[in-house]
């Protein structure tokens, strides 16, 4: 009963599923409830289902996740002499389909489960539009335009807490906590509309790309407050629709 982790992998990318079609998942392994075997089973499920689910399945009401879309989010940016609010709209995120699990481990305690995932993505690309209200020293800026952010070789360590519960004679899984820490090897930033002069935009981008680690170090905790609760909600909405029984060895 502890192997609910199989389902965690099944929907770990935030897709939402209906009551499952047995043929659609018939070739997937069933996970043992033995803790020492569980990690490898979940890793296999994750790496099998990640590319399979990227385009969704209308009959099962599985939504495509490549690209993953966000309509709007805002966050505060504060770094030395620069502070203000940035709003991102109509964002599309590409790259999750190539995400692969490198390591998966589980800790079991009754119906409580803790997972640790280490995954690797070759590239994560985020495009969209932005609007900002920034103060740089005494200068007030209100830029707006398009942006294109690319992260290369992204390794993400994710720790989750979850629990098994019963409903209508079936076992289900829900997450109670999720903590993800993505780390890219490199990052490329492109944006326009920062200044009226396009040449000044180029200068600003050169500086931004030179100091991308500092920018990423600020953006990650600020944006995490938005996307981690969103991921938690998306996962649980999906888990609620899929009983885990069919992924467990009897």
**pLDDT of 96-105, one tens digit each?**
899 999 999 9
What is the rounded CA–CA span in Å between residue 227 and residue 126?
14
Cβ–Cβ < 8 Å for 135, 127: no
Q: Beta strand 144-167 with 139-141: parallel, antiparallel or unpaired?
A: unpaired
**pLDDT of 202-245, one tens digit each?**
998 999 999 999 889 878 887 787 778 877 887 787 777 677 77
N-to-C CA span, the chain: 9
Question: 153: domain range?
Answer: 5-247
* Residue indicated by tokens 């029984």: 245
**pLDDT of 104-161, one tens digit each?**
998 888 888 898 999 999 999 999 999 999 888 888 889 999 999 999 999 999 999 9
What is the rounded CA–CA span in Å between residue 175 and residue 112?
10
CATH of the domain at 187: 3.15.10.30
* Residue indicated by tokens 């609010």: 85
DSSP 33: S
Cβ–Cβ < 8 Å for 152, 110: no
Q: Beta strand 68-79 with 82-94: parallel, antiparallel or unpaired?
A: antiparallel
| pTM score | 0.81
Beta strands in 184-241, from DSSP E residues, in sequence order: 186-191
Residue 17 has pLDDT above 70, yes or no: no
Q: How many domains are contained in the chain?
A: 1
Tell me the percentage of the chain whose pLDDT exceeds 90.
36
Residue 18 has pLDDT above 80, yes or no: no
């Amino acid at each position: 009963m502890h192997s609910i982790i199989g389902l965690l992998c099944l929907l770990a990318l935030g897709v939402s599923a209906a009551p499952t079609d047995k043929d659609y998942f018939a070739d997937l392994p069933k996970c043992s409830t033995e803790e020492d075997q569980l990690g490898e089973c979940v890793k296999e499920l994750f790496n099998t289902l990640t590319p399979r689910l990227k385009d969704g399945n209308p009959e099962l009401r599985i939504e495509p996740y490549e690209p993953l879309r966000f309509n709007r989010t805002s966050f505060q940016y504060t770094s030395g002499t620069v502070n203000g609010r940035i709003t991102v709209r109509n964002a599309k995120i590409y790259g999750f389909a190539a995400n692969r699990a490198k390591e998966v481990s589980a800790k079991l305690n009754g119906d409580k489960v803790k997972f640790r995932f280490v995954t690797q993505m070759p590239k994560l690309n985020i495009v969209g539009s932005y609007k900002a209200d920034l103060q740089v020293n005494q200068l007030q800026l209100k830029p707006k335009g398009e942006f294109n952010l690319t992260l290369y070789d992204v390794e993400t360590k994710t720790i989750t807490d979850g629990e098994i519960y019963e409903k209508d004679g079936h076992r289900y899984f829900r997450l109670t906590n999720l903590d993800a820490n993505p780390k890219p090897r490199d990052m490329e930033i492109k944006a326009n509309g920062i200044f009226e002069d396009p040449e000044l935009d180029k200068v600003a981008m050169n500086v931004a790309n030179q100091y991308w680690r500092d920018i990423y170090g600020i953006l990650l905790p600020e944006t995490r407050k938005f996307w981690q609760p969103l991921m938690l909600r998306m996962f649980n909405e999906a888990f609620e629709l899929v009983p885990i029984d069919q992924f467990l060895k009897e």
